[in-house]
């Protein structure tokens, strides 16, 4: 596959996924980033803000804005820990728990739509490959990887 074509496909898929999720949760007044944060909390309830930021590979300021917004909308609660008063653990409210199945169904419908016609082996290979690439990109020293000796 042509590398430029691959980059284009990844970009299109990312933008379309964001647009789809944004449309699917618009009636609940939730943004894409808030949706992704909620989805990560379903399996990591009680995690603190800093760990969420590291886990999602999103800067702390963006996570803090999403947390504040979700808290104001009644989806999450922040609780100060006794051990470290600066640390706040995140918990889902009853409203968030009540909508968990719906939120997961959004991802399921998108996965079914975008992989229609693929067999399970192909889907597994694509998911594994993208996971490997994402993990590798997270560990990259970008200034080192981006160095290129220009030839004249």
Per the structure block, which two tokens stand in for 123? 């889907």
| pTM of the model as a whole | 0.84
Fold of 3-107: Arc Repressor Mutant, subunit A (1.10.10)
Partner residues linked to 76 by β-bridges: 92
Q: Going residue by residue through the chain, which has 152 residues, state the pLDDT in tens, using 9 for 90 and above.
A: 688 898 999 999 999 999 999 999 999 999 999 999 999 999 999 998 888 988 888 888 999 899 999 999 999 999 887 776 677 899 999 999 999 999 999 999 999 999 999 999 999 999 999 999 989 988 888 888 888 766 66
Q: What per-residue confidence (pLDDT) applies to 1?
A: 62
**pLDDT (0 to 100) of residue 25:** 96
Look at residue 53 in the predicted model and tell me its pLDDT: 87
The number of angstroms, rounded, from the C-alpha of 108 to the middle of its chain's C-alpha atoms is: 15
Element of type H or E holding 90: strand 88-92
Q: Where are the domains of the chain?
A: 3-107
Nearest-5° Cα angle at 127, 100 to 4: 120
């Amino acid at each position: 596959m042509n590398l430029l074509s691959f980059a284009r496909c990844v970009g299109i898929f990312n933008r379309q996924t964001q647009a789809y999720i944004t449309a699917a949760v618009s009636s609940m007044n939730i943004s894409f980033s808030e949706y992704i944060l909620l989805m990560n909390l379903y399996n990591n309830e009680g995690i603190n803000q800093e760990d969420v930021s590291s886990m999602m590979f999103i800067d702390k300021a963006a996570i803090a804005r999403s947390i504040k917004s979700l808290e104001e909308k009644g989806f999450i609660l922040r609780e100060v820990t006794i051990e470290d008063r600066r640390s706040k653990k995140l918990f889902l409210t009853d409203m968030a728990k009540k909508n968990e199945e719906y939120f997961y169904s959004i991802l399921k419908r998108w996965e079914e739509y975008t992989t229609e016609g693929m067999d399970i082996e192909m889907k597994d290979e694509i998911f594994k490959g993208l996971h490997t690439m994402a993990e590798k990109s997270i560990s990259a020293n970008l200034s080192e990887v981006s160095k290129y000796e220009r030839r004249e």
